[in-house]
Amino acid sequence: MVKKLNYGMVGGSLSAFIGAVHRIGASFDGKTHLVAGCFSPNEKSNRECGEYFELDPERVYASYTEMAEKEAAREDGIDFVTISIPNNHHYEAAKAFLVNKIHVLCEKPLCFTVGEAEELKKLAEENHVLFCVNYSYSGTNMVKEARELIQKGMIGEVINVNAEYLQEYLVDDIGQSEEKMVKLSSWRKDPEVAGISNCVGDIGTHIEHTVAYMTGLKLKRVAAKLDYFGQPLDLNANILVEFENGAHGVFCSSQVCVGHMNGLVVRIFGTEGAIEWVQENPNILSVTFKGQPTQIYNRGMGYVGTRSQETNRLPSGHPEGVYEAFANIYRAWVEAILKLKNNEALTEADMDFPSIDAGIEGVKFITACVESSKLDAQWITIN
């Protein structure tokens, strides 16, 4: 029985924030071993990262193409790759590993166009490999509890959704010239690197996926107004949404809301009750049943559902956060690959990570929002 997986990273140098979070998340359960990487296009940075993790120098590669080909040829080659590089390289990097039959976990958004996203899905299916897109909040314990409550019909039929993701870190960029703009993650504001959207593409897609994961609902159409404030890509977005079941809602994503750090809030309203989850206080879930006072569900307590119990990592009252959410994504991902390597059949429960389909829906959402805004917030159907 194979009990551990070897993996590699594309991106995630020692100076990269998200790369470190991926490595920590992957290491939580002791079932992975980092053995290869193409950590940076900078030769010195790439080499230093390999040395820091004590990797075989022959497995620190100058390009992701070389890495995919050479790792696929090795008898002890990587079982999966984590791709945590800027958006403009997601498609080509993922494709390189898929054609070499290596499982792929990729940062969001998946790629630039719906056509590219659908091609990646086809390649994954043809090469019989798994594909995960890192919408990390679906790994959060109480998001899973919300999903289970809604699936059980505890709040009735979903009739309305209100969700926001508010940050302030780009407020000083409003009306500024390029040389005076905030440099933090500056590539996110470059259309050549980030794609057609900054705010919706970076954080708005987290709203779309978290709501979809909780409710099981798919978006039918959107009417969006994006604000650019003199910049090449959006810094703020207000979006009306309609779901396939006929429910409506409002999504708001912004990087210019003073006083808000990382304010993802999701409110789901049903015919029999409501659920609210606040990312900055992720260990509780507010649940209100019609005609009753609001109840506070705490992570780790005996009354929470099966999946919440299974993904609980600490006793109630000991806060879990982003690292644990990443770890839960990686645990489901790694265990699914281990089952395949051990010739075991996968069940629906084994696939509790954001799939390539989630990535495709994210690209469709971004594309529709940008198109709608260009047409003065006309309704755009998501195909």
Average pLDDT, the chain: 96
Beta-carbon contacts of residue 69 (< 8 Å; ≥ 6 apart): 96, 100
Measured CA distances, 103 to 5, 43, 100, 169 (Å): 11, 26, 9, 34
Beta-carbon contacts of residue 9 (< 8 Å; ≥ 6 apart): 19, 22, 23, 34, 36, 37, 38, 39, 81, 82, 83, 84
Do the domain assignments include residue 61?
A: yes
Please indicate, yes or no, whether residues 240 and 274 belong to a single structural domain of this protein.
Answer: yes
Q: Which residue shows structure tokens 């206080």?
A: 281
Do the domain assignments include residue 353?
A: no
Distance CA 380, CA 170 (A): 28
User: How many other C-beta atoms lie within 10 A of the C-beta of residue 166?
Assistant: 20
| 110: CATH | 3.40.50.720
Please indicate, yes or no, whether residues 70 and 110 belong to a single structural domain of this protein.
Answer: yes
Please indicate, yes or no, whether residues 280 and 198 belong to a single structural domain of this protein.
Answer: yes
Please indicate, yes or no, whether residues 85 and 207 belong to a single structural domain of this protein.
Answer: no
Please give the residue range of the domain that contains residue 12: 5-129
Please indicate, yes or no, whether residues 173 and 207 belong to a single structural domain of this protein.
Answer: yes
The CA-based diameter of the chain, rounded to the nearest angstrom, is 65
Please report the pLDDT score of residue 185 as a whole number.
Answer: 63
Please report the pLDDT score of residue 69 as a whole number.
Answer: 98
Do the domain assignments include residue 44?
A: yes
Answer with the one of 87, 106, 129 that is the final residue of a domain: 129
Answer with the one of 90, 109, 129 that is the final residue of a domain: 129
Answer with the one of 96, 129, 162 that is the final residue of a domain: 129
Please indicate, yes or no, whether residues 68 and 188 belong to a single structural domain of this protein.
Answer: no
Please indicate, yes or no, whether residues 167 and 116 belong to a single structural domain of this protein.
Answer: no
Do the domain assignments include residue 82?
A: yes
Please report the pLDDT score of residue 177 as a whole number.
Answer: 75
Please indicate, yes or no, whether residues 367 and 253 belong to a single structural domain of this protein.
Answer: yes
Q: What percent of the chain has pLDDT over 70?
A: 98
Please indicate, yes or no, whether residues 124 and 142 belong to a single structural domain of this protein.
Answer: no
**Domains in the chain: how many in total?**
2
Q: Are 34 and 84 in contact (CB under 8 A)?
A: no
Please indicate, yes or no, whether residues 84 and 149 belong to a single structural domain of this protein.
Answer: no
Do the domain assignments include residue 148?
A: yes
Please indicate, yes or no, whether residues 146 and 291 belong to a single structural domain of this protein.
Answer: yes
Please report the pLDDT score of residue 175 as a whole number.
Answer: 85
Please give the model's pTM, rounded to 2 decimal places.
0.97
Per residue, what are the HEC states of the chain?
CCCCEEEEEEECCCCCHHHHHHHHHHHCCCCEEEEEEECCCCHHHHHHHHHHCCCCHHHECCCHHHHHHHHHHCCCCCCEEEEECCHHHHHHHHHHHHCCCCEEEEECCCCCCHHHHHHHHHHHHHCCCCEEEECHHHHCHHHHHHHHHHHCCCCCCEEEEEEEEECCCCHHHCCCCHHHCCCCCHHHHCHHHHCCCCHHHHHHHHHHHHHHHHHCCCEEEEEEEEECCCCCCCCEEEEEEEECCCCEEEEEEECCCCCCCCEEEEEEEECCEEEEEECCCCCEEEEEECCCCCEEEECCCCCCCHHHHHCCCCCCCCCCCHHHHHHHHHHHHHHHHHHHHCCCCCCCHHHCCCEHHHHHHHHHHHHHHHHHHHCCCCCEECC
Do the domain assignments include residue 189?
A: yes
Q: Are 308 and 301 in contact (CB under 8 A)?
A: no
Distance CA 36, CA 31 (A): 16
Do the domain assignments include residue 319?
A: no
Please indicate, yes or no, whether residues 207 and 99 belong to a single structural domain of this protein.
Answer: no
How confident is the chain (383 residues) per 10-residue block, as mean pLDDT? 97 95 98 98 97 98 98 98 98 98 98 98 98 98 98 98 97 80 73 97 98 98 97 97 98 98 98 98 98 98 97 96 98 98 96 98 98 98 93
Do the domain assignments include residue 26?
A: yes
| 190: CATH | 3.30.360.10
Please report the pLDDT score of residue 383 as a whole number.
Answer: 85
